[in-house]
Amino acid sequence: METNHHFDIIVVGSGAAGLSFINYINEQSDFNKDDITIALFSKKEFSATNTNWAQGGIAAVYSAIDSKENHVQDTLIAGSNMNNQTIVSKVVDEAPNIIEDLINWGMIFDRDSNDDFKLTLEGGHSNARILHNKDETGKLIQVSLENKMKKNSKLSKYEHCQLIDAVKDSNGIFNLIFLDEQNRLSYFSASILVIATGGLGALYSKSTNQNTSTGDGIYFAKKLGAKIQDLAYIQFHPTGLYSQHETAYLVTEALRGQGAVLKNLNNISFMEKYDARGSLAPRDIVSRAIFNEMKINQSAYVYLDGTSLKHELWIEHFPNLFKECIKIGIDPRNEFIPVIPVQHYSCGGVYTDEFGETTLSGLYALGEVACTGLHGANRLASNSLLEAFAFAKFAAQKIISQFEKKEPALNAIIPNSIRLKSLNKLALQKIMTAAAGIERNDSSMKKSIEELKELVEKATPCEKIKKEDIEKNIMYDVGIDILIDALNKKENKGVHYNTSLLK
């Protein structure tokens, strides 16, 4: 057991949000970097993030026929106007600066022969505005950010160190417990806590997320007393590669942007029946349409037909997807790709202001864990990396402008509220997928809340503190909160589709 280490800022999460926040803090000109102490933590190795897996890219306006107004409008339409318009404009305005920052940090985006960015089109966008590097944008972003972070000798770095408990004391200091790979507990405290823990895909049977995406940030922010908002808005990606695995490989929307078409098992293109924008309608509409076609045809998947794409595009633009298809015995140049909608993104989360600060002073939530108002009831494709960077920047600016040293109290409160039950992850995933999936209804949600509560009540206490058990306990808690929020929503907006509200 280590003694208590105090830092001015503790950042939990090493994806786009956490790492760029650290860069932005270091780039603030009006403060002496040596004055401020920062520590970074991640559950597994620093590179095990959803950021690393992002394929499509980042949305920003660069084309002469596009405009920021268009980007704002597309974001609002996708979000069913449940977005915060001020936030949408603020983030869209910042997008080109974010791209410049990323390039300065070493990121390379694909360019054409005139040295202009190659821009792709994705669902819900009225113009091509996705900057990317082939289909591995996230991997290259992660590498650029990590390279910069590793050179930062002042930063204290803790990999394989999972946040397992948090309390805030009366002096405003966050007291935290982490669990390392050898199951050892460490105690840390921070004047400012930045939660950048990503999403919650592991609560579902099939998700594009890392299996470490268990909603931890939402759980701890709620425990600390911060407001949580719109957990019901869970986005399903229409095209996960159909397989038996829990983690579904994402078949990027950019493929449909290049002309690939969704077809049912009878080889009939069906999207026109559901929306004038066809295969490139926003994700909620495409996911529901696929779900419906699967029901009508009693099929386990639908097809994505990319056979009309030029063969060289597969190698130039989608090399990784091509490899994944070949791995499961499908040559996408000549054969249709089997796809199903899978959990992909949490639009809701920890409520923040326009600087990423939560309702609890000193607690910041950045990236997917946050509910900033940008996405409303449905995230527009490629707006989430943008959000992670934009709020990391806004938060760093606010923190530095108000920074003052705080000392930890000598008699710091040690969190000791860990009470673990031995819970079944598969049972939770099955319940969440059935009750809080693409289509919901009141009776199944009510029944599922009771079932989850009962499973927790009946479960036996765990004898030891183990990483997996901490995760499962968090997942049950967050799962119940998702269902309660979904049940409380009285309107179908964006990704929330409750058939009981149709009557």
Q: Which residues are catalytic?
A: 283
| 345 contacts 235 by C-beta, under 8 angstroms | yes
Considering the complex, what minimum distance in angstroms separates the CB of residue 443 from ligand FAD? 31
372 binds ligand FAD (CB under 6 A): no
Place of tokens 């202001």: 353
User: SS3 string of 321-375?
Assistant: HHHHHHHCCCCCCCCCEEEEEEEEEECCEEECCCCCECCCCCEEECHHHEECCCC
CA–CA separation, 171 and 443 (whole Å)? 45
Considering the complex, what minimum distance in angstroms separates the CB of residue 392 from ligand FAD? 8
57 binds ligand FAD (CB under 6 A): yes
Residues 6+ apart with CB under 8 A from 257: 120, 121, 122, 123, 128, 130, 280
Interface segment toward ligand FAD; rule CB under 6 A; list 8-16, 167-175, 310-318, 451-459: 8-16
Considering the complex, what minimum distance in angstroms separates the CB of residue 379 from ligand FAD? 8
Query: Total residues at the site for ligand FAD (CB under 6 A)?
Result: 42
In degrees, rounded to 5, the angle at the alpha carbon of residue 110 between the alpha carbons of residues 23 and 103 is 20
Residues 6+ apart with CB under 8 A from 34: 154
Type of residue numbered 481: D
**Which residue among 384, 444, 473, 498 contacts ligand FAD (CB under 6 A)?**
384
**Considering only CA atoms, which of 302, 383, 343 is closest in space to residue 123?**
383
Interface segment toward ligand FAD; rule CB under 6 A; list 73-81, 299-307, 376-384, 437-445: 376-384
186 binds ligand FAD (CB under 6 A): no
Burial of 43 (0-12, 13-18, 19+ CB in 10 A): buried
In degrees, rounded to 5, the angle at the alpha carbon of residue 430 between the alpha carbons of residues 239 and 321 is 25
436 binds ligand FAD (CB under 6 A): no
Nearer to ligand FAD among residue 82 and residue 388 (C-beta): 388
17 binds ligand FAD (CB under 6 A): yes
Interface segment toward ligand FAD; rule CB under 6 A; list 12-20, 64-72, 259-267, 304-312: 12-20
Type of residue numbered 323: K
Considering the complex, what minimum distance in angstroms separates the CB of residue 445 from ligand FAD? 25
Nearer to ligand FAD among residue 149 and residue 487 (C-beta): 149
388 binds ligand FAD (CB under 6 A): yes
**Which residue among 10, 36, 43, 98 contacts ligand FAD (CB under 6 A)?**
43
Considering the complex, what minimum distance in angstroms separates the CB of residue 138 from ligand FAD? 6
Binding mask 332-371 for ligand FAD (x = CB under 6 A): -------------x---------------------xxx--
Pairing of strands 156-158, 130-131: unpaired
Positions touching ligand FAD (CB under 6 A) are: 12-18, 41-44, 48-51, 53-58, 137-138, 162-163, 196-198, 208-209, 212, 216, 250, 345, 367-369, 382-385, 388
